[in-house]
Structure 1
Amino acid sequence: MPDWTAGYVADIGYTYGTYAELNPQRIRLAFLMAGLVPPETGTACELGFGQGMSVNIHAAASTTTWYGTDFNPSQAGFARELAVASGADAHLYDQSFEQFCSRTDLPDFDYIALHGIFSWISDENRAIVVDFIRRKLKVGGVLYISYNTQPGWAAMAPLRDLMAEHANVMAAPGVGSTARVEQSLTFVERLLATEPRYLRANPMAKARFEKSRSQDPAYLAHEFFNRDWLPVTFSQLARWLEPAKLNFACSANYLDHLDFINLTAEQRQLMADIDDPVFAQTTRDIIVNQSFRRDYWVRGARKLDTIALDEQIFQCRVMLLTNREAVPLKATGTLGEVSLNEEVYGPLLDRMAGHEALSIGDLMAYGNTIKLSRSKVLQAVFVLVGIGVVGMLQDQHTIDRATPQAQKLNLHLCALARGGSQVQHLAVPATGGPLKVDRFHQLFILARSMGSRDAQDWAAYAMSVLSRMGHRLTVDGKPMESDTEQLEDLLNRATVFRDKILPILVKLGVVA
């Protein structure tokens, strides 16, 4: 293992996922729901950007200037390729945190983001990152930080340590991370089959391990097999961040804000009796057995008065991101899955079904005509954004400026889809963030960009790509044997795309 890794897995690339919480546009409604002044987001920085999917999508789909680093040069190279393709204002490096954070040519930032990385780096690097935040985050600026937390990981931690130790001392010499992961998982399976007393005391550990067993080895390598791995309590993180003078603002996971789907009445009363915000969050993590937090912290939290708060909420614009009939009237919290009230959500979704930009004020006015209170409308919008079917929109000037570069990036990502299905998101200038678009829809977009205008041509193009790559569609886990059957399936997909998906993508600015 090369010494520049500092104990971090570097011989296997991170996944190509995107994380909506990293989108600065999401901060606004979350802060308003917490009664706080939302930040400006002209300059942003992501530390440890992995393959760079999120940083590039958020740069291309907005007018924000982005900086970032990921010490893995192959990942940084891919990220730079995407930045060149879009032409967005993104400055991406392959430096270590120590190198990047000591640069003298960086601006001060409105927004700094760390997704997961704080859990996987050494104490020395954590100190470097916190000092960087102290020096470079503007007054009023926001830190997004997600990290593994102690309550949910407490039972699994010994198994993780055992897997990492097995990879270090028992793996065959010279094998890569993928093989070491597989060998370690196989060993733990053998261990658990002996029914160790540890499982009796920690029955949830087996379920957590079995879930991990089915996940992408590249993800597992980065999640479990770094030298440093530290789930922390909320109060421990607060102490880490003290030198940066940050206040906890709120969760970046919208559904965490809704106590009725996460806490029992007795638990809500207990929480209401706790005045200290840090102790309250630490206690709440115990109640819900939190394993991963996504949080916003702010340098100088400021409360909005009632009039200003209402004005800003009313002005927020939203749009339905999917077809009306595809919206599940369900939300999942710690207490399990809950059904959303059809009498509240149904009319609001009907109002948004045309995929037009509507302000929350518009929806409240509409709600008033059908006897829905403002509070019910606002909570419904918040839930719909939280489950990912409604998006918070940027202002129109930003959308207009971002659209050309977002569409350039999207065509490049669609071209990558010819080789496989690793890239599953495109940039949305309407929301400033990502939207999941499957491989076949990306191939149809690519065919359309080359002049093909009907579903038959799109299906034929996708068929030619699959043939060149030796890929086949599957039915019940088995590859289709007949080209005719495969082409018919692709035509059905292309027709649905033309009639149901494409009109929404055009409204959102994903494609021209």
Structure 2
Amino acid sequence: MNQSHTYDDVPYPDLCYAYTHPGRIAAIATLLGMQPTPVENCRVLELGCAGGGNLIPMAYGLPNSTFTGIDNSARQIEMAQQKATALGLDNITLQTMDIMEVAPDFGEFDYIIVHGIYAWVPPAVQDQLLAICQQNLAPQGVAYISYNTLPGWHMVLMVREMMQYHTRKVTDPRQRADLARTLINDLVQMIPESENSAYAAFLHTYADMRFDKLGGHTDWEDSALLHDELSEYNTPLYFHQFIEHAAQHGLQYLAEADFTQVMMHDLPENTQLRLQEMAHDTIELEQYLDFVRHQTFRRTLLCHESVDVDRTLRAERIRHLYISSRAVLLADNDGNEYFRTHDGSTFPAEHPLTTAALRYLSQISPRAVRFEPLLKQACARLNLAQPTPEDAHMLAINLLQAFTYSLQMAEMMTCSPDFTIEISERPLASPLARLQVQIAPLISNLRHEQVELDGLSRAVTPFLDGQHTLPMLVDELADMVAAGQLAPSKEHATPEQIRKQLDHDIRYALRWLSRAALLIG
């Protein structure tokens, strides 16, 4: 029995994917010697755009660029068109179309995005995806393709096969997803001496990671499970196999969209040396890295085989990029200062100019600035009228190194998203956020990141229309509490206590929303 479910039946989660943003892709291309089209005026194609959750936020944030999205789900395209119309976007085209119908005359694009398709379609469609990335990609264009990888997916394939067997007689998609989850959770308990079983530990870890992947939003979690582990096609492959397939279509490997994935900073020195001995080129090195890391997923960037890729990272190339950081300055027990990010990455605070620059970026986080203004701010903090050429060069080198450590330590883009971290008298959230908060559990910020709001932030965001002052916001939410639409933070509180607490909570929420890149005024 064919138990596949169309995307009309079960729409894919309406999400944005940070690594697909042209500004991030173009920064990597720039660092590797390419001359990508400026993202402020570029052409973007997304194959399999679903409900527009990834493409529409890009079109909103880059109004002078043009965006084209195709999908064979008429229902999802209709949903996407409704959202684009609600936002008044005139720079995006969304159409129901089969990928197999895309021909060279469909148009030329500077960036082509293929997220979550390649490993989930038959070989003929995989060939067509790469053919499009060759025939419809501009000479200095970059294509993004994500896919499941081996060896990591070998273990997940085992789970997929068990879930497929357990649900083989069920046709209702939601019931299939529920039964699949129940099976894995039950197996953890059924395995003898499960507390000492590596097999049980793997299943438990898998369940924790997969079944709460989207923050407990059941519909979206069902959809992700049905279109991944329970999909008709799911063919993970080794990295080198994907690169060989791309080469057959005149495409070459550029890098990973998650640039830190190609680095070895997280590995012991002896491991790094052994890998360098084993590998004879970039592809071999990264394949061995996948073996070491048990890699399950890649976000690969491709370009034309004719492009001269320079894999020597040169400090001068960051001078035209926008840099941001979410690092905080800490000190160890001996008083030695260092920067740390939420993902656990650390970077030494040894070079005064670099330390001053990262402290400034931390202060304005998550805003981004170009290298020269950043250099000026760092000098001002050190009371330097002019840095030495050596110091400026060292700052560039250190920022580039920080970028290879962690994107939270130093992220680079070719554009600066338009949002504010200042809270005005009448706060204004982006129209995109105010639309999405009413229809989706996760929303897209102006840095093209997924953001989950708590109850109060979700309640206040629709009123951040540039018309409401803080007292007016308190009035609106107090009315919601009185109507039972919003739970008070304290039970049995008086109306006056509720208003006082709301005033405090809204102020906090506004500060959080500003740092979450959701405010534009």
1:461 maps to 2:470: no
Q: Does the 8 Å CA contact 2:72/2:98 hold for their aligned counterparts?
A: yes
Number of the residue aligned with 2:369: 358
Change (3 A) 1:294 1:156: same
- Give runs of aligned pairs for residues 271-350 of structure 1, distance below 5 A: 271-273=275-277, 274-299=279-304, 300-303=306-309, 310-319=315-324, 329-330=340-341, 332=343, 337-343=344-350, 347-350=356-359
The DSSP-based 3-state class of the residue aligned with 1:154 is helix
Q: Is the 8 A contact 2:403 2:412 kept in 1?
A: no
- Name the CA shift for 1:29/1:209 in 2 (closer, same or farther; >3 Å): same
SS of equivalent residue, structure 1 residue 259: coil
CA contact (8 A) 2:430 2:518 kept: no
Partner in structure 1 of residue 334 of structure 2: none
Q: Quick check: 1:379 aligned with 2:385?
A: no
Contact 1:18–1:54 (8 Å) recurs in 2: yes
Aligned to 1:228: 233
Q: Could you give the per-residue CA deviations for residues 133-192 of structure 1, whole angstroms, max 9, x where no partner exists?
A: 2321122211111111112111121111221232232x2x5x3x2221111222233344
TM-score (norm 1): 0.79
Partner of 1:446: 462
Give the deviation of 1:329 after TM superposition. Answer: 1.6
The correspondence for 1:17, drawn from 15, 18, 35, is: 15
What are the equivalent positions in structure 2 for 1:69-148 lying under 5 Å apart? 69-84=70-85, 85-99=87-101, 101-102=102-103, 104=105, 106-148=106-148
Between the aligned partners of 2:16 and 2:132, the Cα distance in structure 1 is 24
Shift of 1:481: 7.0
Q: State the Cα distance separating 1:76 from its structure 2 match.
A: 1.6
Deviation string 1:51-105 (CA, Å, 9 cap, x unpaired) is 2121011111112211112222232222112222241411112323224x2484x
Instruction: Provide the residue aligned with 2:167 in structure 1.
Output: 167
How big is the shift at 1:360? 2.1
Higher RCO (CA < 8 A, seq sep 6+): 1
Aligned to 1:422: 441
Distance 2:510 2:205 in 1: 41
2:190 aligned residue (174, 194, 217):
194
Report the equivalent of 2:174.
178
Select the residue among 24, 27, 30 that pairs with 2:28.
30
**Whole-Å Cα distance in 2 between the matches of residues 54 and 37 of structure 1?**
24
Q: 1:305/1:75 Cα in 2 relative to 1: closer, same or farther (>3 Å)? A: closer
Which residue of structure 2 lines up, in the alignment, with residue 403 of structure 1?
none
The structural deviation recorded for 1:462 is: 3.9
Q: Which runs of 5+ in 2 are unaligned?
A: 214-220, 331-337, 380-386, 420-426
Cα deviation for residue 248 of structure 1 reads 0.8
Higher helix share: 1
Farther off after superposition, 73-82 or 456-465: 456-465
How many angstroms apart in 2 are the aligned matches of 1:80 and 1:316? 33
How far apart are the structure 2 equivalents of 1:489 and 1:148? 47
1:404 aligns with none
Q: Distance in 2 between the 1:13 and 1:467 partners?
A: 36
The residue type paired with residue 402 of structure 2 is A
Question: Counterparts of 1:140-159 in structure 2 under 5 Å?
Answer: 140-159=140-159
Does the 8 Å CA contact 2:147/2:298 hold for their aligned counterparts? yes
Cα distance change, pair 458–86 in 1 and its aligned pair in 2 (3 A): same
| Structure 1 gaps, min length 5 | 400-406
Does structure 2 conserve the Cα–Cα contact (< 8 Å) formed by 1:40 and 1:141? no
* SS in structure 1 of the partner of residue 110 of structure 2: strand
- For these two proteins, the number of residue pairs brought into alignment is 475
In structure 2, relative to structure 1, the CA distance for the partners of 1:382 and 1:102 (3 Å cut) is same
Q: For 2:84 and 2:97, how far apart are their aligned partners in 1?
A: 17
When the two chains are superposed, the root-mean-square deviation of aligned CA atoms in Å is 3.9
* Percentage of pairs with the same residue: 16
- State the one-letter code of the partner of 2:465: S
Cα offsets for 1:223-268 (capped at 9, x unmatched): 211100111110121232223211111111132244212x221221
TM-score, length-normalised on structure 2? 0.78
Matched position secondary structure for 1:193: helix
Q: SS of the residue aligned with 1:147?
A: strand
